Structure 1
Amino acid sequence: MIGLSLSGVRSVVALGAHPDDIEIAAGGLLLSLPEGVTVDYVLATGVPARQAEARAAASAFLSKAGSLTFHLHDLPDGRLPAHWNETKEIVEAAARLGTPDLILAPSTDDAHQDHRLLAELASTAFRNSLVLHYEIPKWDGDLSRRNVYVPLTPDQGREKVALLHEHFPSQKARDWWDDEVFLGLARIRGMECRAHYAEAYTLTKSLLTF
């Protein structure tokens, strides 16, 4: 397996439709980012209490970041396609911040309409950045084949799950919110890349330089 390095990443835009999307999907990657990285954290939906959870969670996952800027919006959950213009402006505003090294966005094959719209908009707004499309486990059963893996040690995997539990208490009553879901998927993705745990992403386009 050919390895690519994120050690040179200095700026990141993390796009999420809902509070907890980014941390569930890419929490391990956030914990692995180089110290001093600049992060713009963008959410399209969220009531104040959920946005407060997201602020606390992102601050914990990105404790080594040089700067962390929040761009939190309150479009209605589950209705982003009906607010296409506003959602487009959220993504375009993030793109106008500069040319980040890395974009984290939902997957274009995600079954949730909010996630899928953000994924489609990210690919057109960020044409000169590396875009990694993340996956979110859910009852829709939309997990599929991925082509980029971020390996995690056992300690990193457990730290990710502990931070999810700590910072998103509003979600603990959900029947899918437990260690077995998060670590089970991480173990499967780890097996696929010969690591203990891993997160998996899709990369649709990149530039190979020499």
Structure 2
Amino acid sequence: MLGFSLTGVRSMIAVGAHPDDIEIAAGGLLLSLAEANPGLRVHYVLCTGSPERQAEARAAAAAFLPGAELTFALHDLPDSRLPAHWNATKNIVHEAAATFPGAQLVICPAQNDAHQDHRLLAELAPTVFRDQLVLHYEIPKWDGDLSRRNTYLPLTDEIARRKVELLHASFPSQKGRDWWDDEVFLGLARLRGMECRSRYAEAFDCNKASLTLGSEGGS
């Protein structure tokens, strides 16, 4: 299995449909990038969320990305109705690209995600971010849409457990959900770790990447 270093990534756009999507799917990536890349700049984009949930998202971003320079574009489109607001959603993604044009890395939902809001963002992102490395993340859910992935980020035990700790601390509004627990979060991380010969990992899809012999691009 070939490996590519994310050390050197200085800027990233994180795109989510709902508050907590990004951290559930890629909290380990956020913690790892912040640790490895001092001065990291991150533009956080969410399409839906009440004021309470947006406040949770802001606090979560600060917790998962300590020391990073954060900017936010938090929107309040109707939850579970993004396909009916296609133009507005498309504009949000374009605005993110225009606001943060030098981003080296973009993370967004997976294209085979069963949730319609996630799936729309997954379809739109590659049409807008043509010069960035785009990683499509996965979110466990009732729909049971987990599948084979092609890109892995091994996580240390410390980062995997810190991710779960921060999920609980950052999103108190979600603690009543029957799937919101350590076993779900660490269980998926353990399975993805097994697939890449690590204890824990997060998994992504990457549909297109450019290989270089130099250090440019940070990936």
TM-score, normalised with respect to structure 1: 0.98
- Which of residues 69, 81, 84 in structure 1 aligns to 2:83? 81
Alpha-carbon distance between aligned partners in 1 of 2:164 and 2:65, rounded to the nearest angstrom:
15
CA RMSD for the aligned pairs?
0.6
Alpha-carbon distance between aligned partners in 2 of 1:20 and 1:31, rounded to the nearest angstrom:
15
| Cα shift at 1:28 | 0.2
Opposite residue 93 of structure 1, the aligned amino acid is: E
Instruction: Say yes or no: does 1:116 pair with 2:129.
Output: no
Partner of 2:150: 147
Matches within 5 A, 1:41-80: 41-65=44-68, 67-80=69-82
Partner of 2:3: 3
Instruction: Say yes or no: does 1:104 pair with 2:103.
Output: no
CA contact (8 A) 1:99 1:128 kept: no
| Cα shift at 1:70 | 0.8
Opposite residue 84 of structure 1, the aligned amino acid is: W
CA contact (8 A) 1:95 1:126 kept: yes
Partner of 2:13: 13
Instruction: Say yes or no: does 1:175 pair with 2:178.
Output: yes
Alpha-carbon distance between aligned partners in 1 of 2:162 and 2:118, rounded to the nearest angstrom:
25
Alpha-carbon distance between aligned partners in 2 of 1:123 and 1:159, rounded to the nearest angstrom:
31
| Cα shift at 1:64 | 2.5
Q: Secondary structure at the match of 1:96?
A: helix
TM-score, normalised with respect to structure 2: 0.94
Partner of 2:130: 127
Alpha-carbon distance between aligned partners in 2 of 1:27 and 1:140, rounded to the nearest angstrom:
21
Opposite residue 18 of structure 1, the aligned amino acid is: H
Alpha-carbon distance between aligned partners in 2 of 1:99 and 1:125, rounded to the nearest angstrom:
13
Opposite residue 127 of structure 1, the aligned amino acid is: R
- Runs of 4+ aligned structure 1 residues displaced above 2 Å come to none
Alpha-carbon distance between aligned partners in 2 of 1:153 and 1:190, rounded to the nearest angstrom:
10
| Cα shift at 1:118 | 0.5
| Cα shift at 1:105 | 0.3
Alpha-carbon distance between aligned partners in 2 of 1:30 and 1:83, rounded to the nearest angstrom:
29
Alpha-carbon distance between aligned partners in 1 of 2:102 and 2:111, rounded to the nearest angstrom:
21
Structure 2 residue runs without a partner (length 5+)? 214-219
| Cα shift at 1:8 | 1.5
Matches within 5 A, 1:17-32: 17-32=17-32
Percent identity over paired residues: 71
Q: Secondary structure at the match of 1:120?
A: helix
CA contact (8 A) 1:148 1:201 kept: yes
